[in-house]
Structure 1
Amino acid sequence: MIVVTAPTGQIGRQVLGRLLAEGEHVRVIVRDAARLPAGARERVEVVEGSHRDLDVVTKAFAGADAVFWLVPPNPRAESVEAAYLDFSRPACEAFTAQGVARVVGVSALGRGTAMAGKAGHVTATLALDDLIASTGVAYRALALPSFMDNLLRQAEAIRDRGVFTAPVSGDLRAPTCSTGDIAAVAAELLRDDTWTGVEEVPVLGPEDLSHDDMARIMSEVLGRPVRFQRVPDEDFRARLVGFGMTEAVARSMLDMMRAKEAGLDNGVSRASGGGSPTGFRQWCQEVLSPAVLA
Structure 2
Amino acid sequence: MIVITAPTGNIGRHLVPRLLESAPAAGEELRVVARDPARLPDAVRDRVEVVTGSHGDPAVVDRAFAGADAVFWLTPPDASRAPDDAYAGFTRPAARALAAHGVGHVVGVSALGRGTPLADRAGLVTATFAMDDLIASTGTAYRALANPSFFENLLEEADSIREKGVFTDSVAADRRAPLVAVEDIAAVAAGLLLDRSWSGTGSVPVLGPQDLSPDDLARVMTEQLGRPVRYERLPLDELYASLVGYGLDPAFARGVVDMKAAKDQGLDAGVARTPETASPTGFADWCARTLRPAVLDRA
Contact 1:13/1:37 (<8 A) preserved: no
Partner of 1:57: 61
Q: Identity of aligned pairs, percent?
A: 59
Whole-angstrom distance in 2 between the partners of 1:113 and 1:172? 18
Q: Which amino acid aligns with 1:31?
A: R
Partner of 1:255: 258
1:215-294 equivalence runs, <5 A: 215-271=218-274, 273-294=276-297
Which residue, 31, 35, 41 being the options, matches 1:31? 35
Partner of 2:51: 47
3-state SS of paired residue (2:209): coil
3-state SS of paired residue (1:73): coil
List 4+ stretches of structure 1 deviating above 4 A: none
Which residue, 195, 202, 208 being the options, matches 2:205? 202
Once the two structures are superposed, residues 39-89 of structure 1 have per-residue CA deviations (whole angstroms, 9 ceiling, x without a partner) of: 211111011111111111111111111000000121111x10000011111
Alpha-carbon distance, 1:242 to partner: 2.0
Whole-angstrom distance in 1 between the partners of 2:251 and 2:287? 32
Which residue, 108, 126, 141 being the options, matches 1:138? 141
Whole-angstrom distance in 1 between the partners of 2:231 and 2:154? 12
1:122-133 equivalence runs, <5 A: 122-133=125-136
Q: Which amino acid aligns with 1:138?
A: A
Once the two structures are superposed, residues 85-125 of structure 1 have per-residue CA deviations (whole angstroms, 9 ceiling, x without a partner) of: 11111111111111111000000000111111010000000
Q: How many residues align?
A: 293
Whole-angstrom distance in 2 between the partners of 1:206 and 1:75? 31
Whole-angstrom distance in 2 between the partners of 1:257 and 1:128? 19
Whole-angstrom distance in 1 between the partners of 2:245 and 2:31? 37
Q: Which amino acid aligns with 2:106?
A: V
1:57-76 equivalence runs, <5 A: 57-76=61-80
Question: Aligned-pair RMSD on alpha carbons?
Answer: 1.0
Whole-angstrom distance in 1 between the partners of 2:135 and 2:77? 18
3-state SS of paired residue (2:46): helix
Task: Indicate yes or no: 2:86 matched with 1:86.
Answer: no
Alpha-carbon distance, 1:272 to partner: 7.3
Whole-angstrom distance in 2 between the partners of 1:277 and 1:140? 20
Change (3 A) 1:272 1:124: farther
3-state SS of paired residue (1:256): helix
Q: Which moved more, 1:200-209 or 1:44-53?
A: 44-53
Task: Indicate yes or no: 2:111 matched with 1:108.
Answer: yes
Partner of 1:187: 190
3-state SS of paired residue (1:113): coil
Once the two structures are superposed, residues 244-266 of structure 1 have per-residue CA deviations (whole angstroms, 9 ceiling, x without a partner) of: 21111111000000000000000
Once the two structures are superposed, residues 194-234 of structure 1 have per-residue CA deviations (whole angstroms, 9 ceiling, x without a partner) of: 11111100000010010000000000000000000001111
Contact 1:109/1:145 (<8 A) preserved: yes
Alpha-carbon distance, 1:239 to partner: 1.4
Q: Which amino acid aligns with 2:238?
A: D
Contact 1:52/1:88 (<8 A) preserved: yes
Q: Which amino acid aligns with 1:262?
A: Q
3-state SS of paired residue (1:130): helix
Alpha-carbon distance, 1:237 to partner: 1.1
